[in-house]
Structure 1
Amino acid sequence: MSSFYPGKRLSTKGERCTVRYVGEVKGKQGQWLGVEWDDPTRGKHSGTHDGVDYFRCRSSHPTAGSFLRPSTTWDQSRTFLEALRTKYAAIQAGENASDQVVIRISGKDAEEVGFEKIARQQAQLQNLHIVVLDDLLVKAYDEQNTTLEDNLEKIPETCPNITDLDLGRNLFETLSEISDICNRLPKLKFLRLDANRLRHVVEQEGSSHGENTGLARIASASLDHMLCTGKELEILLRSLPNVKELSASSNQLGSLDDCNLPNSLTSITLEDNNFSSLEDVQHLRECCPQLRTLNLKNNQISRTFKDTQHKNNFKLPETITDVDLAYNNITSWNIINELSTILPGLKHLRIAHNPLFSSLRSADNKPLTSADGYMLTIARLPRLETLNYSKITDKERLNSESYYLSQIGRELSLSPKEKEKDILSSHPRWKQLCEEYGEPRLERQAESNIDPNSLAARLLECSVYSPTAAGNANLPDEQSPLIVEIPKSCSIYKVHGIIGRRLGVEPLQLRLVLETGEKDRMDMATWNGVEEWDSDEEDAEEVGEEWKEREEELVAGTRPLGTFVDGPKARIRVELKDQKKEGII
């Protein structure tokens, strides 16, 4: 049992685990090992047996733990060079088999042995630049926890040209083991340590691996699935002082307040952690002045600030241009409205697969599509250049902003005057858009105490005008429309008759067009599947939509007028059919 201790890394039948407890279990004979599996679905509990807590798993999964006998058959670990030769020398030998002379003895191929074969394999290993040794049970120390000096000292002569190394999902227990390997790889720049479980990281806080170590030369590092807290991540990164690109996804990070990151960082990926607001990563402003890319995909971000008292002082580095907020819990436009202030340098955004875009509603509570969400997101962020990997053209921005402006106008029209200030506060681009495109026409519904069952409540106030009024004195123009009150229950047949009689025109000559004041998309053929704009990179295509005023022709029939109109007012354009044939509309 002396060879087992909390933090020891083991593997059985290809399943890796970490020892969390060594000792007796109540009601069971003998000694037991309480282990936490790297695959949290592999176990049966979280360290508790018959109501007794024997150990605690780092993972929050309820079935990450098990009890195993020390006599379990454990998989044999490998040194770095053993793993290298197992994977690459054998592969290279197989690739060059056709060039070798095969000697057969008694009908069997004889295996080549001797110095020539060894020299050939050695030369092949020396030429390796990218090496992947993940899940090969690699460790740098033997069972007595002593350094395998002979093995380590042969690394420089065996594989001196490695620049990219993947040591993920192995049996390392301390950062010193990894450092001992990297120190002997003078050209190493890219290092992946995903899913290793290092013990006593916090206790190593005072240790240093020096500025001239192999780890100090690393420019890109991946520390995913290591169950790190913020403090543990900071300690690990002290040995990577010059890293520029960092991935620390699938850890236990809920805030970066206690995590000082290297100021050399230009890109950081923090997918699948526990962040709930952008304020959780505000420490980036102090420690990462060169940061350009921030990936917060698949967290629980639902707001910008934890509380409003920090709102005025909160900003992220102005150098950040690329942000990924896909697969979070964004349910309102507030966070998107604030991105321009919090991230003044933002140019590229991914925000697909958030609840907001699956439940969009217009001001009059009509459902909107994902394509509407695409346009409304563009309109809210004036400096954005790409959205969900799709380049934003000048035409798309024009269409998006004019559509957004019409939506704000519609919301104002449907609300009482006293709510205007609150509404405009939720649309910070209102003033700027009005200056650029002109303020939309508002037809605010007047408040009244009219009984909804009365005749007055069932009347629709119709403003009737004709664009050809200048050529026909009987027709009202846009500045002086004809006001006609028509019951909502009237069929369109009767509407044609009422308006025709007031204008002195035969109803059959009239073409009536209802102007809604809203806009619709047209020409979607350039984007296959526009309804799925919030897709991943491989599905994203350029959007090429046109936008036009939404109109509805009131074709003579039995349908009631009230089914075409929401509210007490309507705007109807009159065209004469004989003029239409002459091309004057």
Structure 2
Amino acid sequence: MTNSLPSDVLGRRILCDTEYATVRYAGSVPPTTGLWLGVEWDNPQRGKHNGSHEGIQYFKCRHPTGGSFIRPNKANFGVDFLTAVKNRYGLNDEEDVECEKENALVIGKKTVELVGFDSIIEQQCQLNKLVDISLRECAVSHAGQKEEISTMCPNIRSVNLSKNLLPSWEKVTDIACQVQNLESLDLSENKMKFPPVSASVTCTLCKLGVLALNRTGVTWPEVLLCAPGWPALEELYLASNDITILERLEQLILSNTGISSICFPDVGFGCKTKMFPLLQRLTVDDNKISQWSSINELDKLQCLQSLQCQNNPLMGTEKNLETVRQLIIAKIGQLKFLNKSEIFPDERKGAELDYRKLFGNEWLAAGGNQNPDKNRPNEEFLAAHPRYQLLCLKYGAPDEGELKRQQPFFLKNQLLTLTIKCPDKPEQKPIEKKLPDSMTIQKVKGLLYRLLKIPGSELKLSYESFKMEGKEIELENDLKPLQFYSVENGDSILVRW
């Protein structure tokens, strides 16, 4: 508490009793005499007005009752970092606090017996041994003397400065740049002013891996402005800052955060959201996502290419994990990696063809039709399957005959009657053959080598179906079975070499 004011009083953070505030005005308030501070309280219920008195506006508040006038001697402007450390760890007065004997601590004239605290006292008596420091609610407002922190506390790795009186990011860097090995920094609940857009990075925290800025009022552009100063940052916490749009964000990790659903309400199904416009990589492992609607929402992201979503209830909704994988691939059209595994073109094609057949009966029941003029599936179906219409355009709409028997993703082993054709060899007559649908493309090629007595040059296989007239699907992956490509009874295998 003081009657004199700091030279930079405007914008300073203060503590009055147990309430926090920011100084918005310093000067006279007629008709009263003397000096007043106009403050904006963090808790607007603590205030009385909006910064005006008898019709004169002295300062502005975000809340109509967020302001007050107080005398300077009521304001605690805080202490420097090292003073707070000494106060917190009982090192502030060497004459009053000293280690006089092995199991006793003398405070003033009183002796307090200690058992098992020798190592703690020894560490606290030597500032240079402090590694992890917690100064939460210690009224820290500035760094103090230049280079004092780096000289007295050279081994600090982690600092908790939450809920203090730090008024600006500049005051933070004055402290942090003296802690050369700083790895973790918590600045939550400091209402700070961040650099303007024109400011440049003045301090690089080379080893900082964890930074918490919860409830600081920071905006996303301000985060981006400061980010070049955190080249090694791995974890950034920004809770309760009312950040709604994240620009230039390419990777977002939300593992083990309790998320149960994902929604982008600014657009409907089939459209792309304006949120996270550059997001390419998203991780939501170890959460509570259980509904397919959340996966549908991810297709709204403009640039999403990689998704990790392991250890969510959704992954157990189907008996086969491969089925879940195919569903996700079919639902998110631009995805190139799923759970760190690349999605190759043939896998996407197979997943989308199977998806088209799996939900074909639901599509017909909801009003779907091969005739474009009659194709009007209801809103409920479109909400559950936003990409279905697109897949029908891509591969052709399924007809009722194709869907008489529901086709699961992985059929039981069955024989398919297929016609073997050689389009480039008209002299070779078509051959009808029964093959198990579980037969791999590699084994089919081996059979054709023997059946057609072709030389050992490389075969290229594809297939066509009367249900998709004019379309030819390549059988590109030798390790996949016929059922993976949705080859059905009556289809034709096309052989080229």
Name the TM-score, length of structure 1 as normaliser. 0.47
Go from structure 1 to structure 2 and tell me whether the alpha carbon gap of 1:377 and 1:274 turns closer, same or farther (over 3 Å shift): farther
Correspondences of 1:118-133 after superposition (within 5 Å): 120=122, 124-133=126-135
Instruction: Indicate whether 1:42 and 2:46 are aligned.
Output: yes
Cα deviations by residue, 1:27-83 (Å, 9 ceiling, x for unpaired):
87765433222334433455466776543346xx554x2212224523362221221
Go from structure 1 to structure 2 and tell me whether the alpha carbon gap of 1:345 and 1:218 turns closer, same or farther (over 3 Å shift): same
- My pick for the range that moved more, 239-248 or 301-310, is 301-310
Instruction: Indicate whether 1:250 and 2:244 are aligned.
Output: no
Task: State the AA in 2 paired with 1:134.
Answer: R
Structure 2 unaligned blocks of 5 or more? 330-336, 341-353, 407-497
The corresponding residue for 1:140 is: 142
Task: State the AA in 1 paired with 2:299.
Answer: E
Go from structure 1 to structure 2 and tell me whether the alpha carbon gap of 1:299 and 1:407 turns closer, same or farther (over 3 Å shift): closer
**Do 2:168 and 2:192's aligned partners in 1 also have CA atoms closer than 8 Å?**
yes
Instruction: Indicate whether 1:21 and 2:21 are aligned.
Output: no
Give 2:179's match in structure 1, choosing from 166, 175, 185. Answer: 185
1:189 positional shift: 1.5
The corresponding residue for 1:73 is: 74
CA distance in 2: counterparts of 1:72 and 1:299, whole angstroms: 51
Instruction: Indicate whether 1:347 and 2:303 are aligned.
Output: no
CA distance in 2: counterparts of 1:7 and 1:306, whole angstroms: 44
1:169 positional shift: 1.7
CA distance in 1: counterparts of 2:298 and 2:112, whole angstroms: 72
Correspondences of 1:378-417 after superposition (within 5 Å): 381-382=328-329, 409-410=361-362, 412-415=364-367, 417=369
Go from structure 1 to structure 2 and tell me whether the alpha carbon gap of 1:229 and 1:127 turns closer, same or farther (over 3 Å shift): same
**Do 2:201 and 2:226's aligned partners in 1 also have CA atoms closer than 8 Å?**
no
Percent identity over the alignment is: 25
Task: State the AA in 2 paired with 1:170.
Answer: N
CA distance in 1: counterparts of 2:403 and 2:200, whole angstroms: 65
1:332 positional shift: 7.3
Correspondences of 1:198-217 after superposition (within 5 Å): 198-199=192-193, 201-202=195-196, 205-210=198-203, 213=204, 215-217=205-207
Size of the aligned set, in residue pairs, is 355
Task: State the AA in 1 paired with 2:202.
Answer: H
**Do 1:9 and 1:172's aligned partners in 2 also have CA atoms closer than 8 Å?**
yes
Give 2:215's match in structure 1, choosing from 214, 217, 225. Answer: 225
Give 1:283's match in structure 2, choosing from 248, 263, 276. Answer: 248
CA distance in 1: counterparts of 2:106 and 2:254, whole angstroms: 58
Go from structure 1 to structure 2 and tell me whether the alpha carbon gap of 1:33 and 1:312 turns closer, same or farther (over 3 Å shift): closer
Task: State the AA in 1 paired with 2:253.
Answer: T
Cα deviations by residue, 1:137-195 (Å, 9 ceiling, x for unpaired):
01226xxxxxx32xx54423432221111112212223333223223222111112222
CA distance in 1: counterparts of 2:108 and 2:248, whole angstroms: 70
Cα deviations by residue, 1:207-247 (Å, 9 ceiling, x for unpaired):
5425xx5x343232222222123443333334334433322
Go from structure 1 to structure 2 and tell me whether the alpha carbon gap of 1:439 and 1:334 turns closer, same or farther (over 3 Å shift): farther
**SS, match of residue 83 in structure 1:** helix
**SS, match of residue 177 in structure 1:** helix
- My pick for the range that moved more, 188-197 or 154-163, is 154-163
Task: State the AA in 2 paired with 1:135.
Answer: E
Task: State the AA in 1 paired with 2:284.
Answer: D
CA distance in 2: counterparts of 1:333 and 1:131, whole angstroms: 41
**Do 1:379 and 1:404's aligned partners in 2 also have CA atoms closer than 8 Å?**
no
**SS, match of residue 139 in structure 1:** strand
**Do 2:141 and 2:166's aligned partners in 1 also have CA atoms closer than 8 Å?**
yes
**Do 2:194 and 2:222's aligned partners in 1 also have CA atoms closer than 8 Å?**
no
Task: State the AA in 1 paired with 2:328.
Answer: L
Correspondences of 1:117-516 after superposition (within 5 Å): 120=122, 124-140=126-142, 148-149=144-145, 152-199=146-193, 201-202=195-196, 205-210=198-203, 213=204, 215-251=205-241, 273-275=242-244, 280-285=245-250, 291-293=251-253, 302-303=264-265, 316-322=278-284, 336=297, 338=299, 342-348=303-309, 381-382=328-329, 409-410=361-362, 412-415=364-367, 417=369, 418-420=374-376, 427-428=385-386, 430=388, 441=404
Name the one with the larger helix percent: 1
Cα deviations by residue, 1:308-365 (Å, 9 ceiling, x for unpaired):
99779996443333389999xx99779526158742311228999xxxxxxxxxxxxx
CA distance in 2: counterparts of 1:43 and 1:380, whole angstroms: 56
Task: State the AA in 1 paired with 2:199.
Answer: G
**Do 2:264 and 2:300's aligned partners in 1 also have CA atoms closer than 8 Å?**
no
**SS, match of residue 9 in structure 2:** coil
CA distance in 2: counterparts of 1:74 and 1:50, whole angstroms: 24
CA distance in 1: counterparts of 2:67 and 2:209, whole angstroms: 38
Task: State the AA in 2 paired with 1:293.
Answer: I
**SS, match of residue 82 in structure 2:** helix
**SS, match of residue 343 in structure 1:** coil
Give 2:60's match in structure 1, choosing from 42, 56, 64. Answer: 56
**Do 1:89 and 1:124's aligned partners in 2 also have CA atoms closer than 8 Å?**
no
Task: State the AA in 1 paired with 2:11.
Answer: G
CA distance in 1: counterparts of 2:171 and 2:58, whole angstroms: 29
1:302 positional shift: 3.5
Go from structure 1 to structure 2 and tell me whether the alpha carbon gap of 1:281 and 1:104 turns closer, same or farther (over 3 Å shift): closer
CA distance in 1: counterparts of 2:192 and 2:71, whole angstroms: 21
Task: State the AA in 2 paired with 1:10.
Answer: I
1:13 positional shift: 0.8
Task: State the AA in 1 paired with 2:306.
Answer: G
Go from structure 1 to structure 2 and tell me whether the alpha carbon gap of 1:117 and 1:189 turns closer, same or farther (over 3 Å shift): closer
**SS, match of residue 281 in structure 1:** coil
**SS, match of residue 178 in structure 1:** helix
The corresponding residue for 1:100 is: 103
**SS, match of residue 197 in structure 1:** coil
**SS, match of residue 284 in structure 1:** coil
State the Cα RMSD in Å: 5.7
Go from structure 1 to structure 2 and tell me whether the alpha carbon gap of 1:331 and 1:175 turns closer, same or farther (over 3 Å shift): same
Go from structure 1 to structure 2 and tell me whether the alpha carbon gap of 1:182 and 1:240 turns closer, same or farther (over 3 Å shift): same
**Do 1:32 and 1:67's aligned partners in 2 also have CA atoms closer than 8 Å?**
no
Correspondences of 1:531-550 after superposition (within 5 Å): none
